[in-house]
Amino acid sequence: MGYRSVFAPGLMAGKVVVVTGGGSGIGRCTAHELAALGAHLVLIGRKLEKLQQVQHEIAEDGGVASIHSCDIRQEDAVRQTVAAVMAAQGRIDGLVNNAGGQYITSLASISAKGWQAVLDTNLTGGFLMARECYTQAMQQSGGSIVNIVADMWGSMPGMAHSGAARAGMVSLTETAALEWAHSGVRVNAVAPGYIASSGMDHYPPEQGPRLRAMAGTVPMGRFGNEAETSAGIVFLLSPAASFISGTTLRIDGARPQVRMGWAAQHATALAVAGRDAVKAFDGFHRAVVPKVFSV
């Protein structure tokens, strides 16, 4: 059994796509789908053992991936890593700027060091990767960049540092789309909402009840999954999105539109109806349920 993508087999054949944060979560899932569609995946992350595991999985499924350990917050490391990818592959057709992370804390409790760490990971690192992929590869041959942001519309309480960084990345996406269009480069963003991903396992155990209750605030009455997010990313990388640039695709079940009382009403109605249009798309054959939901 392989990845059950909705896209045509061979869609990404001959393409080289870089995925940062490719060792887990949405990055891992996206790497699997792109590999299943024929792309050569370049997985980038800080922990080599996680990348090796995903590389092994992709190989078992008949795909091809190479790996590079890199801290995307370090300018020289990013420059050297992209140069190494170009030396090995000769091209970069796509970049999925997925690496990121944050922690839950109140705005008043965030230290300057903690604030800077989250901005470096979620904004500066993405900028460095995009800039180097553009200047070393895409400026000459074109390509597509997808920046992964987050559902920060209307505020991001408990994660103000991440909200600020993600909002900055949306603005960066729009600017890059304008400045790099003349090189045949498209730049878009995907904003996942509440997605059941391994990233949830990094939060403290005491956050479990809060995380599990979040589905009740989504009009569709459930969490999204990694495959539903990956599908949006693949679409924006694909030729079908050739006239889409500078936009942010939200994958969030209409959560930012919630007003008092409406989420519960819609969730109940949809759960009872079980309509096909809103059922979870279970495309990733190697998906793992986050530990927070196994209690």
CATH number of the domain enclosing 182: 3.40.50.720
Domain tally, the chain: 1
Query: Is 294 inside a domain boundary?
Result: no
pLDDT tens sequence across 25-75: 999 999 999 999 999 999 999 999 999 999 999 999 999 999 999 999 999
Quick one: CA dihedral 45, 49, 54, 60, positive or negative? positive
Query: Is 89 inside a domain boundary?
Result: yes
Mean pLDDT within 183-200? 90
pLDDT tens sequence across 68-107: 999 999 999 999 999 999 999 999 999 999 998 877 888 8
Dig out the tokens for 262 from the structure. 């409406």
Q: Which amino acid is at 129?
A: M
Q: Is the pLDDT of residue 21 over 70?
A: yes
Report d(CA 270, CA 274) in Å as an integer.
6
Mean pLDDT within 212-225? 84
Q: Where are the beta strands (DSSP E) in the chain?
A: 16-20, 40-45, 64-69, 94-97, 143-148, 185-192, 195-196, 224-225, 248-251
pLDDT tens sequence across 106-116: 889 999 999 99
Let me know the angle formed at the C-alpha of 72 by 70 and 76, rounded to the nearest 5 degrees: 80
Query: Is 250 inside a domain boundary?
Result: yes
Q: Is the pLDDT of residue 268 over 80?
A: no
How many CB atoms sit inside 10 A of residue 58's CB? 23
Question: How large is the C-alpha radius of gyration of the chain?
Answer: 18
Query: Is 279 inside a domain boundary?
Result: no
Length of the chain: 295
Instruction: Provide the CA 100 distance to its chain's centre, in angstroms.
Output: 9
Q: Is the pLDDT of residue 206 over 90?
A: no
Query: Is 8 inside a domain boundary?
Result: no
Alpha-helix residue ranges (DSSP H) falling in 71-221? 75-89, 112-119, 125-133, 139-141, 160-179, 208-213
Query: Is 83 inside a domain boundary?
Result: yes
For 117, residues 6+ apart whose C-beta sits below 8 A from its C-beta are: none
Query: Is 32 inside a domain boundary?
Result: yes
Q: What is the pLDDT of residue 148?
A: 97
Predicted TM-score (pTM) of this structure: 0.92
Query: Is 274 inside a domain boundary?
Result: no
Q: What is the pLDDT of residue 14?
A: 96
Q: What is the pLDDT of residue 289?
A: 80
Q: Which domain holds residue 21?
A: 16-205+225-259
* Three-class DSSP category at 290: coil
